[in-house]
A and B are shown apart, each in its own frame.
Chain A
Amino acid sequence: MTEDVKVVQTQTRTVQESLLETVSLRLPAVTPPVTYPIETLVPQTRQQTPAVGQRATRSDSRLHGLGQTKYIADLAFSGMLYAKIKRAGIASARIKNVDTRAAEAMPGVAAVLTGREIPVNSFGATFQDQPVLADERVFHAGDGVAAVAAVTEQIATEALEKIKVEYEPLPAIFDPLEGLKEDAPKVHPPHSNIYATKVIRKGDIEKGFAASDHVFESRFRTQMVEHVTLEPHAAIADWDPNGRLTVWSTLGRITLGRADLARTLKLPMNRIHVIATIVGGNFGGKNEITQEPVLALLSKKTGRPVKGVFTRGEEFMSTTTRHPFIMDYKTGVARDGRILARKVRLVLDGGAYCSFSETTLGKACILASGPYKIENLLVEAFAVYTNKTVAGAMRGFGAPQVCFAYESHMDDIAAALAMDPLDIRLLNAFDEGSASPTGQVLQSVVVKQSLLKAAERFGWKEAGQ
């Protein structure tokens, strides 16, 4: 059959036909698909200029992804000892006696340390009211009372059981509102339980309330929470024979960490070397020294590097937490929703020590009225000692607490006036150049833009009407 066709073709071909034939022989009926390189191109954001604005991958992401990042738990030195700290377990007491003899006699225990052996046994961001290890008195149940360095973590933990501490229980305060009363037992006698106060006064609140069509009052409370970083507080201290101290630590602030070490250990700063590793989460919880001076002194006693890693229980009980707040809000508004006056009282439960309470109190006080134009304002804030876990720096320094209060309050006002919660906020929000509660002229103010942008993204006007 094909041979017949060929015969016909050879008999009748022209130049044009023969050209067509050669072309059609070379080209298949269907053109094959074009193949592209199979590699996937990832934008090389780290190689591009300008650098600012690039979605550059993190310089440490590869190590994190491969599990190769070295945290304190991954570091070890030859001859290294492990430290554990004995916790008081009683909220308020006088320490009558600490007997460490049985612990020291245990095989594998290299050294024991008590609070009385610390050269300057106090530290703190604002007031130095916190002992490194409690010596005379216990102020909350998470206070350390003695520390052990041993060849293994297990031996150190077992040795803690052998340390006998005699306590004389003292009266304790757990409710900050109780602590405010004149006749309340004092957490740090002879000092008052109110250890920091802040006030902001602007305009005339009495006039503002008098001019208001409606006045709203509410009390809000928040709870104590932990930072819950993935990596607990950890450090290694090595006191070398030259008398120079090297500390590897999870500290988020090494400049201040070194200053605190110099003060508590009475060492010149140039003999202290603080190295922070990549820290597995901070959120404010790793701003201050914790066990570093203890490890340093144990290293000095033993001549060996000493490592300490907090248990999750110690993370909760002995490190700082977020301040519980009690917040009283009174707000006067005009019929159209404008806020005319606001009075706020904040009481912070500071726990046993000041830590970052001063800062938290100050920021909470300044931010308490919200991002709103309020001419007549009075904010009074108090930080109160209690015999509970220390409250300190935590992401937001009091801002999440007061935001919960002023924004809940705002919705109650909007509901009472039958206003849209978005509209009442847009009506009162700061503009560029608005004066803050402290009288500061604000710049790069985009609170209204953020309200509109979030509302647009959420579909606020369309949804749920």
Chain B
Amino acid sequence: MKRRGRGIACMWYPVGYTVTANPSAAVVKMNEDGTATVLTGTVETGQGSLTVLGQIAAEELGVATDDVYVVSADTDATPADMGAIASRTTYVTGNAIRLAAGRAKAILFEAAAPLLGVKPDQLEARDRKIQVKGFPQRCLAIGEVANRAQVDMGQPAIGSASWNPPTVALDPETGQGKPFSTYVYATQIAEVDVDDETGEVEVLRIAAAHDCGTAINPMLVEGQIQGGISMGLGLALQEEILFDDAGRQLNPNLANYITPTSLDMPEIEVDIVDSYDPTGPFGAKGVGEPTSVPTAAAIVNAIHDAVGVRITSLPATAEKILAAIKAQRARATKRIPSIQHFDLGQGSSVRNA
């Protein structure tokens, strides 16, 4: 019979390397027509990071996402970056790009200030315009300003910068220190059906509430959460590299190493928790790795809630669950009712206990 259960798991996860410096550098160039090019040494590995980095540059320059083209991952053309690792791209590379874009923008402000009759610090870049703060009608098209900076002022609007998260080394004896600049938090709750005759688990739905600071692109955050859950589900129930006695892998292929397919995926309900980190670009932190962290724990807790067995080694395969259910039943049938339930002399005190 199928038994339903639910399980909760929360987590925390750091952004960036542990103590070690992990700088990112970036170059932002504004073209004479108000579009921009970003140079970054990070690599797009499928997560959509270049889109997010483009949005960060666009926001700082006051233009739209489409106005920015991101050039990446070429050691001859792009500056140093410690790479697509440790959930650091949005936070660390994003901060570098924001700083670099700010420096390019400062040149635009210098070019625009005399034309608008104000000081550079009274200007802001917004909606593809350089405008006077509080007087948005007093403005110039950003392309016109960029062109003037290059052609009249002789100073193309280019900025470069690097950023590294501040950390404090850990004491080797006590581990005390500041290993990371910031952390993200999340909770996932899973609902499962467990067949108590076969041990088979079906994950029905997962509610996932993740903190990533400001969501630079909520759609890509949701995508990361969905992908992370599929990976967590594989860790929880299916995936395992097996070895023979001589240390050789037994299942090095996708026929015998089972990963989740779309048919294994539960309904996923995503919430992005309101949060703002003052150290991140526009308040952003990161989301890549943490999305797969609490999934296995939530599923295993749901299995426990459904059939009362605690699986202490992953993956929680049907065989393991069924063996645990059988062991539990074997224990249950041996249990002899406690004698005190039948002790009439103590009856009233037992009821009160």
> Which residues of A approach B to under 8 Å, CB–CB?
45-60, 89-92, 140-142, 172, 174, 198-202, 218-226, 228, 251-256, 258, 272-284, 286-287, 312-313, 315-317, 321-322, 359, 362-363, 365-367, 370-371, 379, 387-389, 393, 395-397, 399-400, 403-404, 406-408, 411-412, 421-422, 425, 429-430, 436-440, 442-447, 449-451, 453-455, 457-458, 460, 463-464
- The 4 nearest A-B residue pairs measured at CB: A253-B83, A91-B247, A200-B175, A316-B252
Asked, given contacts A54-B55, A371-B12, whether A454 binds B231 with beta carbons under 8 Å apart, the answer is: no
A221 close to B54 (CB less than 8 A): no
Asked, given contacts A54-B55, A58-B220, A449-B273, whether A458 binds B240 with beta carbons under 8 Å apart, the answer is: no
B219 close to A56 (CB less than 8 A): yes
Within the assembled complex, what's the spacing in Å between the Cα atoms of A228 and B315?
16
> B65 to chain A: which residues have CB within 8 Å?
45-48, 51, 54, 56
CB of B147 closer than 8 Å to a CB of A: no
A411 close to B179 (CB less than 8 A): no
B43 close to A362 (CB less than 8 A): no
B234 close to A422 (CB less than 8 A): no
Chain B 307-336 interface mask (CB, 8 Å, partner A; 1/0): 000101111000000000000000000000
Tally chain B residues at the interface, Cβ within 8 Å.
Answer: 130
B175 close to A395 (CB less than 8 A): no
Contact of A366 (CB < 8 Å), options: B18, B43, B216:
B18
> B274 to chain A: which residues have CB within 8 Å?
446, 449
> B205 to chain A: which residues have CB within 8 Å?
458
> A276 to chain B: which residues have CB within 8 Å?
43, 72-74
Interface centre among B63, B252, B305 (most CB of A within 10 A): B252
B64 close to A454 (CB less than 8 A): no
Asked, given contacts A49-B63, A395-B289, whether A253 binds B175 with beta carbons under 8 Å apart, the answer is: no
Asked, given contacts A255-B83, A403-B294, A440-B177, whether A226 binds B239 with beta carbons under 8 Å apart, the answer is: yes
Within the assembled complex, what's the spacing in Å between the Cα atoms of A225 and B73?
28
Asked, given contacts A49-B126, A450-B211, whether A141 binds B249 with beta carbons under 8 Å apart, the answer is: yes
Contact of A201 (CB < 8 Å), options: B17, B174, B277:
B174
> A371 to chain B: which residues have CB within 8 Å?
10-12, 185
> A255 to chain B: which residues have CB within 8 Å?
41, 75, 80-83
Give the nearest-CB partner of A412 in chain B.
Answer: B310
> A437 to chain B: which residues have CB within 8 Å?
175
CB distance from B146 to the nearest CB of A (A): 16
B85 close to A393 (CB less than 8 A): yes
A89 close to B313 (CB less than 8 A): no
Q: Can you pick out 22 interface pairs between chain A and chain B where the beta carbons lie within 8 Å of each other?
A: A46-B64, A49-B127, A51-B54, A53-B214, A53-B217, A57-B219, A90-B246, A223-B314, A254-B43, A276-B74, A359-B18, A370-B10, A388-B243, A389-B249, A399-B13, A400-B293, A404-B297, A408-B297, A421-B8, A444-B285, A457-B189, A457-B271
Chain B 167-196 interface mask (CB, 8 Å, partner A; 1/0): 000101111111110110111110100000
A458 close to B75 (CB less than 8 A): no
CB distance from A351 to the nearest CB of B (A): 10
CB of B102 closer than 8 Å to a CB of A: no
CB distance from A232 to the nearest CB of B (A): 11
Give the nearest-CB partner of A201 in chain B.
Answer: B174
Within the assembled complex, what's the spacing in Å between the Cα atoms of A282 and B216?
22
> B241 to chain A: which residues have CB within 8 Å?
223-226, 316, 321, 389
> B64 to chain A: which residues have CB within 8 Å?
46-49, 51
Chain B 62-79 interface mask (CB, 8 Å, partner A; 1/0): 111110111011111000
Give the nearest-CB partner of A406 in chain B.
Answer: B297
Asked, given contacts A223-B240, A226-B239, A438-B176, whether A403 binds B11 with beta carbons under 8 Å apart, the answer is: yes
B11 close to A370 (CB less than 8 A): yes
A407 close to B10 (CB less than 8 A): yes
Contact of A457 (CB < 8 Å), options: B70, B207, B246, B313:
B207
Within the assembled complex, what's the spacing in Å between the Cα atoms of A272 and B59?
34
Within the assembled complex, what's the spacing in Å between the Cα atoms of A69 and B288?
22
Q: List the count of A-B residue pairs having beta carbons below 8 Å apart.
A: 391
Interface centre among B18, B59, B81, B211 (most CB of A within 10 A): B18
Within the assembled complex, what's the spacing in Å between the Cα atoms of A162 and B23?
47
CB of B259 closer than 8 Å to a CB of A: yes
> A283 to chain B: which residues have CB within 8 Å?
231
A399 close to B293 (CB less than 8 A): yes
B43 close to A252 (CB less than 8 A): yes
CB distance from A167 to the nearest CB of B (A): 12
Contact of B76 (CB < 8 Å), options: A202, A273, A408:
A273
Contact of B84 (CB < 8 Å), options: A253, A316, A422:
A253
B289 close to A439 (CB less than 8 A): no
Within the assembled complex, what's the spacing in Å between the Cα atoms of A446 and B186?
8
Question: Which of B45-53, B114-122, B151-159, B339-347 forms part of the interface with chain A?
Answer: B45-53
> B228 to chain A: which residues have CB within 8 Å?
395
CB distance from A339 to the nearest CB of B (A): 14
CB distance from A376 to the nearest CB of B (A): 13
B187 close to A397 (CB less than 8 A): no
Residues facing A in B205-226 (CB within 8 A) are: 205, 207-211, 213-220
CB of B139 closer than 8 Å to a CB of A: no
Within the assembled complex, what's the spacing in Å between the Cα atoms of A407 and B231?
18
Within the assembled complex, what's the spacing in Å between the Cα atoms of A50 and B187?
30
B175 close to A225 (CB less than 8 A): no
CB of B111 closer than 8 Å to a CB of A: no
CB distance from B140 to the nearest CB of A (A): 16
> A256 to chain B: which residues have CB within 8 Å?
82-83
B217 close to A454 (CB less than 8 A): no
A464 close to B301 (CB less than 8 A): no
> B175 to chain A: which residues have CB within 8 Å?
198-201, 365-366, 379, 437-438
Chain B 229-246 interface mask (CB, 8 Å, partner A; 1/0): 001101100011101001
B209 close to A453 (CB less than 8 A): yes
Asked, given contacts A255-B83, A272-B75, A425-B10, whether A52 binds B282 with beta carbons under 8 Å apart, the answer is: yes
Give the nearest-CB partner of B296 in chain A.
Answer: A404
Within the assembled complex, what's the spacing in Å between the Cα atoms of A457 and B225?
15
CB of B300 closer than 8 Å to a CB of A: yes
Within the assembled complex, what's the spacing in Å between the Cα atoms of A403 and B300?
11
> B273 to chain A: which residues have CB within 8 Å?
446, 449-450, 453
B247 close to A317 (CB less than 8 A): no
Asked, given contacts A56-B65, A449-B273, A454-B209, whether A199 binds B247 with beta carbons under 8 Å apart, the answer is: no
Give the nearest-CB partner of A197 in chain B.
Answer: B172
B85 close to A458 (CB less than 8 A): no
> B282 to chain A: which residues have CB within 8 Å?
52
> A58 to chain B: which residues have CB within 8 Å?
48, 50-51, 220
Contact of B298 (CB < 8 Å), options: A141, A396, A407:
A407
A47 close to B66 (CB less than 8 A): yes
A411 close to B314 (CB less than 8 A): no
CB distance from A189 to the nearest CB of B (A): 17
